[in-house]
């Protein structure tokens, strides 16, 4: 397949600071000196000054035709800056970018729209910006309007649109003018649920048609569903580039550890401030399995898993209950098991949770203990460190990509190729 986007050593520097008359002459002198340095050494880059901020540092990658790239990273990681460089909105400080084909970018609500023009005029304006003739835009006009659901407001100046109306029309234009490359930067979070579903279905159609796409989203589920490869950016640098399920898992593990460290820091600060003793404390937890010797990790294989917890109650809990919950890195509850506490529970209490097997894909998971009295919860205890599900040789070769690692086998009937049966193995 041919390469449609190629970035080599892309870096982008911004100036931080307030401009004034004195700074103007300083900037002129600095830029002149920088120009002379580049004249004699084009690859020379001045080292950071206190007013320089590098939004991107030495980012290199390729996207081939039919491939979808997901960009992952915290806010301020450089994702939007990279998209603006790829869209030719801004030039990189160093490095080069080559784009082969018609590119449609939707980096924010109303990108490329003129506020004084009507929705109808802006459709033709965006088509002209993509190099299409009025005849070509007219062929796609009805599909654009029908997809957006904006027939009633088509002749209203877009400055009077709400953000949701802006988004509907802007996405419809970007997705139906037959671009070879589509760039979307977290804009779909503005739309309602029904329109978001239509948007993602349209993106999948574009991908299935063999076009390239770059998506930025904090919704890992959507990226896993639509992106073959992903790039993880952190502080402007590329941390990881590869298959989406691997990059997303590493990113989720990193963010989970940061969240745990944050709560641990808060807990220490509260203790130092001499706050009242908590209602309950999780003293210890472990998991045991024949496939792993680590106290806080388990293999993804099919084996019995036994969890043990030790809790200290500082108050008397009458007619209480305890629940153990297991959630993924996004907080989705995967398992919840509830049990009765002794009639008058106080002091140390041991809990044991036995599972015949734990059918989860490799990654980091959150364990919680919830203590309740007869009326409402009184304590939420988060287990640290997180539960880690490890990959083993058997699961690596099994070919599953979903959340659950269920014991299954796919059988194809040779006598009738159209029939594919999933046969479960106990």
In this prediction, residue 230 carries a pLDDT of 92
Which CATH class, in words, describes the domain spanning 3-251? alpha beta
Q: Domain spans of the chain?
A: 3-251, 276-395
What span, in angstroms and rounded, lies between the C-alpha atoms of 252 and 150?
38
Phi, psi (deg, nearest 5) at residue 405: -110, 70
CA distances from residue 147 to 150, 196, 198, 240, 421 in whole angstroms, order as listed:
8, 12, 8, 36, 37
Element (H, E) at 300: none
DSSP bridge pairs for 340: 321
What span, in angstroms and rounded, lies between the C-alpha atoms of 353 and 342?
17
* Tokens linked to 308: 């043990």
- Strands (E) across 49-171 are located at 52-64, 68-72, 94-99, 103-106
pLDDT in tens, 268-307: 565 555 455 677 888 889 998 877 778 888 887 777 889 9
To which CATH superfamily is domain 276-395 assigned? abc- transporter (atp binding component) like domain (2.70.50.60)
Residues in contact with 130: Cβ distance below 8 Å, sequence separation at least 6, in sequence order: 102, 104, 177, 179
| pTM, 2 dp | 0.61
In this prediction, residue 52 carries a pLDDT of 78
* Tokens linked to 133: 């003739």
What span, in angstroms and rounded, lies between the C-alpha atoms of 171 and 158?
14
What span, in angstroms and rounded, lies between the C-alpha atoms of 159 and 280?
55
In this prediction, residue 425 carries a pLDDT of 46
What span, in angstroms and rounded, lies between the C-alpha atoms of 284 and 394?
31
**Which residue's entry shows tokens 């600071």?**
17
Positions of the chain with pLDDT lower than 70, given as ranges: 1, 17-31, 34, 36, 38, 40-50, 108-112, 130, 187-192, 256-277, 345, 392-403, 405-407, 415-426
Phi, psi (deg, nearest 5) at residue 369: -115, 125
The answer to whether residues 51 and 16 touch, using CB atoms and an 8 Å cutoff, is yes
CA distances from residue 306 to 119, 290, 309, 349, 385 in whole angstroms, order as listed:
61, 10, 10, 17, 17
Q: Of 231, 272, 268, which Cα lies nearest the Cα of 248?
A: 231
In this prediction, residue 372 carries a pLDDT of 84
What span, in angstroms and rounded, lies between the C-alpha atoms of 46 and 37?
9
Helices (H) and strands (E) in the chain, counts: 9, 20
Q: Is 246 helix (H, G, I), strand (E, B) or coil?
A: helix
What span, in angstroms and rounded, lies between the C-alpha atoms of 237 and 232?
8
The single-letter DSSP state of residue 152 is: G
Q: Of 99, 83, 91, 75, which Cα lies nearest the Cα of 183?
A: 83
Q: Is 297 helix (H, G, I), strand (E, B) or coil?
A: strand
The answer to whether residues 370 and 323 touch, using CB atoms and an 8 Å cutoff, is yes
> If you count them, how many residues does the chain have?
426
């Amino acid at each position: 397949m041919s390469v449609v986007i190629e970035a080599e050593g892309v870096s982008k520097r911004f100036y931080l600071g307030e401009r004034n008359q004195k700074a103007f002459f300083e900037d002129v002198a600095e830029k002149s000196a920088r120009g002379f340095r580049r004249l004699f050494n084009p690859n020379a880059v001045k080292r950071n000054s206190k007013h320089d901020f590098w939004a991107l540092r030495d980012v290199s990658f390729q996207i081939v035709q039919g491939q979808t790239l997901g960009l992952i990273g915290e806010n301020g990681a450089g994702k939007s800056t990279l998209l603006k460089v790829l869209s030719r909105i801004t030039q990189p400080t160093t490095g080069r970018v080559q784009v082969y084909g018609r590119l449609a970018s939707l980096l924010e609500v109303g990108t490329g729209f003129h506020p004084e023009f009507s929705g109808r005029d802006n459709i033709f304006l965006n088509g002209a910006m993509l190099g299409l003739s009025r005849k070509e835009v007219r062929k796609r006009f009805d599909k654009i309007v029908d997809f957006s659901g904006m027939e009633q407001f088509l002749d209203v100046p877009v400055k009077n649109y709400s953000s949701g109306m802006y988004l509907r029309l802007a996405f419809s234009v970007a997705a139906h003018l037959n671009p070879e490359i589509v760039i979307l930067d977290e804009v779909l979070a503005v739309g309602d649920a029904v329109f978001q579903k239509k948007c993602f279905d349209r993106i999948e159609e574009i991908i299935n048609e063999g076009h390239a796409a770059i998506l930025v989203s904090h919704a890992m589920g959507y990226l896993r569903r639509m992106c073959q490869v992903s790039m993880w950016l952190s502080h402007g640098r590329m941390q990881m580039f590869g298959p989406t399920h691997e990059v997303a898992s590493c990113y989720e593990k990193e963010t989970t550890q940061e969240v745990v460290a944050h709560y641990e820091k808060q807990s220490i600060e509260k203790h130092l401030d001499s706050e009242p003793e908590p209602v309950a404390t999780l003293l210890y937890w472990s998991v045991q399995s024949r496939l792993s010797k680590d106290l806080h990790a388990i293999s993804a294989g099919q084996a019995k898993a036994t969890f043990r917890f030790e809790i200290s109650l500082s108050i008397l809990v009458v007619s209480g209950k305890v629940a153990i919950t297991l959630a993924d890195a996004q907080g989705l509850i995967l398992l919840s098991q509830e049990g009765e506490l002794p009639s008058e529970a106080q002091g140390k209490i041991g809990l044991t949770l036995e599972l015949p097997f734990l059918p989860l894909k490799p990654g980091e998971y959150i364990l919680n203990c919830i203590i309740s009295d007869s009326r409402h919860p009184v304590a939420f205890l988060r287990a640290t460190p997180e539960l880690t599900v490890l990959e083993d040789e058997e699961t690596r070769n099994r070919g599953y990509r979903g959340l659950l690692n269920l014991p299954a086998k796919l059988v194809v009937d040779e006598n009738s190729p159209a029939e594919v049966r999933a046969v479960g193995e106990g």
